[in-house]
């Protein structure tokens, strides 16, 4: 089933799939992208946000008079003003509520307290320290594991009936009894406390908005780089009571998202309110520290896990999770999945049973739990299970690849129903693992490691094998705020045979303008350069749920493929009339319908398009024109997977970890543009290195964020990233029209466990008692592990 050869561009495949250079590059390499801050509207005012210095404090009073006296300040908006507009609180993406501006009290450091509107950005920021807020500090809870202690301060006293800091009640999946049985019958059991610490997607462009409300017409134009413009429009219509057809959201170019730009943030609502109040366009853009301290963080999962084996094979898994959701529950995931897709944690293995419990708590920290290049908590799940499998292999004295090989789901078992209720579509895991071993020369690496151990050197080899579920999702199971997770596509072929395809998902760098043109090209035979891809403008694209959870290719990609086929079907009927034959007597080759048995007789898509709009005869009853529309409802998620091997060296003197090699073999089904797929993998691997070794959002006991700038929140540069070694297998998705599965997040999901497994493997060469270390594996934390005092980060 699997093959390691990518589909080459050949004379038979002259257009469509392949390493097409990106269409969107032309503007970016000239510095002509249009990011939010590049937009200037006449008469535009500028906003800035005053934020709380305290993690938990009562607000006794807010005095804005001195700020208002400053030259150039137009207004200062506080919770009181928003109350009169009914905008003081807003719903989160998870059906919780959150304060737009704090009125009663602040619940985390960096929370929005007041919004200044001024003639320029410098003045707006000058006004912030002139606002006088009388705070009365309250006790703080930052550790999720202590949030439910009886003496923990109540954070959400705004919620009627809320008596503790429980954000979501315990949610379970799997079969507890069966899992208990598997553990009772097991030969080996291993238990670990594993923390996936809080980190941040930190796209290079921070969040912001320009709102332009026209009081004469009631039209609200919004410029805002976000990952789900249609959903945002619906939210603004509901929150602000504005008519949805009078709201237009334009994303333009977005400087990265990685999940961080899915939610609606308080700053957006403030900007809209400010424009309505001021009757002028208002721009607000956060600075980097505002971005890191107040917008959606990722992970913060405390996982207590046990895994067991019988007869040399993995048989059971039990996990108990405490999730830290911060001050509001604004995690981003489908409504019926309060722990996201965490229960995919049974991984790539045929377990006899598994059981998962997750509960979420409020803490005095910024809210989020959004994905960071992760399909709804799959990153946490994969990290946990791949750490546990390694721990189990160590306990059993078996090579970690050997244990995985013994326990993999076999190719003939697909579609495979997991113990927690997922139906994996297709795979050949052992084959992919073997390709990774070959590239790595695994046996040789183990020999090298043994030789180095003799010399006292700490070399580690880490393995991870992941299965992801992406492309959310089927409407009967998945919605966000009640909106089904389907995507629209709209294709118009013009009389000259050139085409415009409008899609409902929005690029933040993934190359949609190229990939989606390639899909139409492949289906219709129109060259990619003659296909314009429209996206990111709610007035110019059909409704859909956006780009995150690796869903663009699985959902929108399928929509574009099927809408093209609809056009092709219509073209066939028109061609039959043109060629005076029956449709069933025609055959299709790239770009042309021709008469079976008489290939000379044919009509190209250009000929057909011209005919469709002309005054000449069309098939009886057919409307003119050559276009089509579709809304795609995926029948299942797609399940990309991959085998990753990481080689690290640890300096025994400084405890510095160096990633020497990283081998990534991904199977994401059919690759539309392998160049872009490789690029996505490179980027995700770099993020994985960041998460495993450098990136951490931590807090002191008073709730002060300790990583609020790029001085303390460390992101890998070119110096920390090795030359990645990629390989591939191709196991098509059976239900996707192109066989594609999606890839964006896979490398971020798969790389942290490979790296941490490598770090532990290296440490064990000199310190065999080390059995776990939590991320990030910074020198101080690795050093502590060497001294036998590894602690989870705060």
Partner 1 sequence: MQVTITINGEEVTRDVEPRMLLVHFIRETPGLTGTHWGCDTSNCGACIVRLDGQAVKSCTVLAAMADGHEVTTVEGLERDGRLDPVQEGFHEKHALHCGFCTPGMMMASRALLDENPDPTDEEIRTAISGGICRCTGYQNIVAAVRWAAEREAEVKQEA
Distance CA 332, CA 260 (A): 10
Q: Which of 14, 28, 170, 539 binds partner 1 (CB under 8 A)?
A: 28
Q: Which of 71, 412, 723, 769 binds partner 1 (CB under 8 A)?
A: 723
Q: Is 432 helix (H, G, I), strand (E, B) or coil?
A: helix
Burial of 7 (0-12, 13-18, 19+ CB in 10 A): middle
Active site residue 207: no
Q: Does 204 bind ligand FES (CB under 6 A)?
A: yes
Active site residue 522: no
Phi, psi of 38 (to 5 degrees): -80, -10
Active site residue 374: yes
Helix (H) or strand (E) holding 283: strand 282-285
Q: Does 545 bind partner 1 (CB under 8 A)?
A: no
Burial of 497 (0-12, 13-18, 19+ CB in 10 A): buried
Q: How far is the CB of 26 from partner 1 (least distance, A)?
A: 8
Q: How far is the CB of 509 from ligand FES (least distance, A)?
A: 5
Site for partner 1 in 597-656 (CB under 8 A): none
Specify the residue, 256 or 527, whose C-beta has the smaller distance to ligand FES. 256
Specify the residue, 34 or 601, whose C-beta has the smaller distance to partner 1. 34
Active site residue 373: yes
Q: Does 29 bind ligand FES (CB under 6 A)?
A: no
Residue 462 binds what, of partner 1, ligand FES, none (CB under 5 to 8 Å, by partner type)? none
Long-range contacts of 405-408 (CB under 8 A, 24+ apart): 405/430, 405/433, 406/312, 406/313, 406/314, 407/313, 407/314, 407/349, 407/350, 407/351, 408/348, 408/349, 408/350, 408/433, 408/465
Q: How far is the CB of 121 from partner 1 (least distance, A)?
A: 8
Q: How far is the CB of 645 from partner 1 (least distance, A)?
A: 17
Residue count, binding to ligand FES (CB under 6 A): 3
Active-site hit among 51, 198, 299, 373:
373
Specify the residue, 69 or 120, whose C-beta has the smaller distance to partner 1. 120
Q: How far is the CB of 671 from ligand FES (least distance, A)?
A: 20
* Structure tokens belonging to residue 588: 């299709």
Q: How far is the CB of 288 from ligand FES (least distance, A)?
A: 8
Could you tell me how many residues make up the chain? 794
* Structure tokens belonging to residue 184: 């009772």
Q: Convert 125-170 into a string of H (helix), E (strand) and C (coil).
A: HHHHHHCEEEEEECCCCCCHHHCCCCCCCCCCCCCCCCCCCEEEEE
Q: Does 427 bind ligand FES (CB under 6 A)?
A: no
Q: Does 201 bind ligand FES (CB under 6 A)?
A: no
Q: Does 529 bind partner 1 (CB under 8 A)?
A: no
Residue 479 CB neighbour total at 10 angstroms:
17
Report which of 532, 586, 519, 591 is spatially closest to residue 559, judged by C-alpha positions.
Answer: 519
Helix (H) or strand (E) holding 105: strand 105-106
Q: Which of 500, 715, 784, 786 binds partner 1 (CB under 8 A)?
A: 715
> Please, are residues 488 and 236 in contact by the beta-carbon 8 Å criterion?
no
Active-site hit among 111, 227, 333, 680:
227
Q: Does 287 bind partner 1 (CB under 8 A)?
A: yes
Residue 254 binds what, of ligand FES, partner 1, none (CB under 5 to 8 Å, by partner type)? partner 1
> Please, are residues 165 and 152 in contact by the beta-carbon 8 Å criterion?
yes
> Please, are residues 498 and 526 in contact by the beta-carbon 8 Å criterion?
yes
Q: Does 737 bind ligand FES (CB under 6 A)?
A: no
Active-site hit among 290, 386, 513, 745:
745
Residue 715 binds what, of partner 1, ligand FES, none (CB under 5 to 8 Å, by partner type)? partner 1
Catalytic residue IDs: 227, 373-374, 745
Residues that bind partner 1 (CB under 8 A): 21-22, 24-33, 35, 37-38, 122, 202-206, 253-256, 258, 287-289, 508-511, 675-676, 678-687, 709-711, 715, 717-719, 721, 723-724
């Amino acid at each position: 089933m699997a093959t390691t050869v990518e589909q080459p561009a050949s004379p038979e495949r002259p257009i469509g799939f392949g390493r097409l250079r990106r269409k969107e590059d032309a503007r970016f390499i000239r510095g002509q992208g249009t990011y939010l801050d590049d937009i200037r509207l006449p008469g535009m005012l500028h906003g800035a946000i005053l934020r709380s210095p305290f993690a938990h404090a009562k607000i006794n009073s807010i005095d804005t008079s001195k700020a208002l006296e400053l030259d150039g300040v137009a207004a200062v908006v506080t919770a009181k003003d928003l109350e009169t507009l009914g905008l003081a609180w807003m719903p989160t993406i998870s059906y919780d509520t959150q304060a737009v501006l704090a009125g009663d009290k602040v619940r985390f450091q960096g929370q929005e307290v007041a919004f200044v509107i001024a003639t320029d950005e410098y003045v707006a920021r000058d006004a912030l320290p002139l606002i006088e807020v009388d705070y009365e500090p309250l006790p703080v809870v930052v550790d999720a594991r202590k949030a439910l202690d009886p003496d923990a301060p109540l954070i959400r006293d705004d919620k009627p009936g809320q008596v503790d800091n429980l954000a979501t009640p315990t949610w379970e999946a799997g079969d507890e009894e069966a899992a208990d049985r598997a553990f009772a019958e097991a030969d080996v059991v291993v238990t670990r406390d594993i923390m996936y610490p809080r980190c941040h997607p930190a796209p290079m462009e921070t969040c912001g908005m320009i709102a332009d409300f026209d009081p004469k017409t009631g039209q609200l134009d919004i410029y805002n780089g976000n990952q789900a413009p249609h959903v945002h429009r619906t939210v603004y219509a509901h929150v602000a009571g504005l008519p949805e057809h009078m709201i237009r959201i334009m994303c333009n170019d977005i400087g990265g998202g990685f999940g961080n730009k899915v939610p609606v943030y308080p700053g957006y609502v403030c900007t809209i309110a400010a424009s309505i109040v001021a009757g002028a366009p208002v721009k607000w853009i956060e600075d980097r520290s505002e971005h890191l301290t107040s917008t959606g963080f990722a992970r913060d999962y405390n996982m207590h896990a046990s895994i067991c084996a019988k007869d040399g094979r993995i048989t059971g898994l039990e996990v108990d999770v405490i999730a830290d959701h911060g001050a509001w529950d604004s995690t981003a995931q489908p409504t019926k999945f309060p722990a996201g897709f965490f229960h995919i944690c049974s991984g790539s293995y045929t377990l006899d049973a598994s059981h998962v419990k997750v509960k979420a708590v409020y803490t005095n920290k910024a809210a989020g739990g959004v994905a960071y290049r992760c399909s709804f908590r799959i990153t946490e799940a994969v990290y946990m299970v791949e750490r546990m499998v390694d721990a189990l292999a160590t306990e059993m004295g078996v090579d970690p690849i050997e244990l995985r090989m013994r326990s993999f789901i076999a190719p003939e078992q697909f579609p495979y129903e997991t113990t927690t209720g997922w139906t994996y579509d297709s795979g050949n895991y052992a084959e992919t693992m073997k390709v990774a071993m070959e590239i790595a020369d695994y046996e040789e690496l183990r020999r090298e490691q043994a030789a180095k151990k003799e010399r006292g050197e700490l070399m580690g080899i880490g393995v991870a094998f992941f299965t992801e579920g992406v492309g959310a999702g089927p409407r009967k199971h998945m919605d966000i705020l009640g909106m089904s997770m389907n995507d629209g596509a709209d294709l118009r072929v013009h009389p000259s045979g050139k085409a415009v395809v409008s899609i409902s998902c929005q690029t933040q760098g993934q190359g949609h303008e190229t990939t989606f043109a390639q899909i139409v090209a492949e289906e219709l035979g129109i060259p990619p350069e003659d296909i314009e891809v429209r996206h990111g403008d709610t007035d110019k694209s059909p409704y859909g749920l956006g780009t995150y959870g690796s869903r663009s290719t699985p959902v929108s990609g399928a929509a574009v493929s099927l809408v093209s086929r609809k056009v092709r079907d219509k073209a066939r009927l028109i061609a039959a009339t043109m060629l005076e034959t029956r449709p069933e007597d025609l055959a299709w080759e790239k770009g042309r319908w021709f008469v079976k048995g008489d290939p000379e007789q044919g009509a190209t898509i250009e000929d057909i398009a011209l005919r469709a709009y002309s005054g000449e005869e069309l098939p009886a009853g057919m409307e003119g024109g050559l276009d089509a529309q579709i809304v795609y409802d995926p029948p299942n998620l797609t399940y990309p997977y991959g085998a990753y091997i990481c080689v690290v060296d640890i300096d025994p003197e400084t405890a510095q970890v160096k990633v020497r090699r990283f081998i990534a073999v991904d199977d994401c089904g059919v690759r539309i543009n392998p160049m872009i797929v490789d690029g996505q993998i490179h980027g995700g691997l770099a993020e994985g290195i960041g998460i495993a070794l450098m990136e951490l959002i931590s807090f002191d006991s008073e709730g002060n964020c300790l990583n609020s700038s790029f001085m303390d929140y460390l992101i890998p540069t070119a110096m920390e990233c090795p030359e990645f070694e990629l390989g591939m297998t191709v196991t098509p998705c059976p239900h996707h029209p192109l066989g594609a599965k999606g890839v964006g997040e896979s490398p971020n999901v798969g790389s942290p466990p490979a790296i941490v497994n490598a770090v532990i493997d290296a440490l064990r060469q000199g310190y065999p008692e080390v059995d776990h270390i939590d991320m990030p594996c910074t020198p101080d934390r690795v050093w502590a592990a060497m001294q036998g005092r590894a602690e989870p980060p705060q």
